[in-house]
């Protein structure tokens, strides 16, 4: 299968999987962890082995060039090249560099971006997977909180039923004439 078509198919599949994800009032690190868990569960549902915090082919910048970056999820599959997944809530050039190095090594790279929207497209051949999340201020000292619901919006509240006369009676308006009262 063509790597580009395979990547697009995998990105669409992971997007559909993440579309079911729901949470309320989580911190940034908690949301990232929840999405990484969901990505690993998606890989398992495909019948693949998945590894969290797997070593990337990209070395760390100096002075730690003897070590390698890590990937959020790496997947081994029988029916194609390995799949690597990074999860971020910001645009990070280092992520682009890491995923580009992974694709050069023959892997399919999926970049899961989450947040309130307006996600910049990464350079090819990195495949973008988006996960829209609402955010709001948390209690003092708690930072931003994030929520995601997949169901329909909550219905309007039911108002008490009263017998209301549909006849509208005009009310007297004060005159604009200063001499009249």
Q: Which of 46, 42, 105 is nearest to 73 (CA)?
A: 42
25: alpha, beta or left, given left = phi > 0 and alpha = psi -120 to 50? left
d(CA 8, CA 174): 68
Predicted pLDDT at 118:
87
Average pLDDT over every residue of 73-79: 95
Does residue 170 carry a pLDDT above 80? no
Q: Is the pLDDT of residue 179 over 80?
A: no
Instruction: Return the domain boundaries, the chain.
Output: 7-139
Decide the pairing of beta strands 144-148 and 134-137. antiparallel
> For 27-74, how does the pLDDT look when each residue is reduced to its tens digit (9 = 90+)?
999 999 999 999 999 999 999 999 999 999 998 888 888 888 999 999
For 28, other C-beta atoms within 10 Å of its C-beta total: 17
- DSSP codes of every residue in 30-45: HHHHHHHHHHHHHHHH
Q: 3-state DSSP call for residue 26?
A: strand
Rounded Cα distance between 73 and 82, Å, is 11
Stated pTM of the model: 0.79
CATH architecture of the region 7-139 = 3-Layer(aba) Sandwich (3.40)
**Interval 120-129 mean pLDDT:** 93
Distance, CA of 149 to CA of 31 (rounded, Å)? 13
143 conformational bin, left if phi > 0, alpha if psi -120 to 50, beta if neither: left
Looking at residue 93, its pLDDT comes to 86
| pLDDT tier, 180 (very low <50, low <70, confident <90, very high otherwise) | low
Looking at residue 20, what DSSP letter applies? T
* Ranges 76-80, 82-86, 121-125, 162-166: which has the least confidence: 162-166
- With bands split at pLDDT 50, 70 and 90, how would you rate the model's confidence at 163? low
Summarised one tens digit per residue, pLDDT across range 101-121 is 999 999 999 999 999 988 989
Residue 71 and residue 83 in contact, taking contact as beta carbons nearer than 8 Å: no
* CB count in 10 Å sphere of residue 145: 18
Instruction: Read off the pLDDT band of 173 (50, 70, 90).
Output: confident
Residues in the chain: 181
On whether the CB atoms of residues 34 and 21 are closer than 8 A, the answer is yes
- Residue 1 pLDDT: 45
State residue 172's pLDDT score: 78
């Amino acid at each position: 299968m063509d790597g580009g078509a395979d990547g697009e198919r995998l990105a669409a599949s992971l997007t559909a999987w993440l579309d079911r994800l729901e949470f309320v009032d989580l911190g940034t690190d908690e949301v990232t962890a929840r999405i990484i868990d969901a990505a690993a569960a998606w890989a398992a549902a495909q019948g693949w082995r998945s590894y969290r915090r797997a070593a990337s082919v990209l070395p760390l910048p100096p002075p730690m060039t003897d070590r390698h970056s890590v990937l959020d999820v790496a997947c081994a599959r029988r029916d194609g090249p390995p799949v690597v997944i990074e999860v971020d809530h910001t645009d990070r050039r280092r992520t682009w560099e890491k995923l580009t190095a992974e694709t050069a090594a023959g892997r399919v790279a999926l970049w899961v971006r989450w947040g309130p929207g307006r996600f910049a497209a990464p350079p090819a051949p990195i495949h973008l997977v988006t996960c829209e999340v609402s955010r709001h201020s948390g209690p003092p000292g708690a930072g931003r909180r994030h929520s995601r619901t997949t169901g329909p919006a909550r219905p309007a509240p039911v108002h008490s039923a009263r017998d209301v006369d549909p006849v509208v009676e005009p009310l007297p308006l004060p005159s604009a004439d200063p001499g009249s009262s």
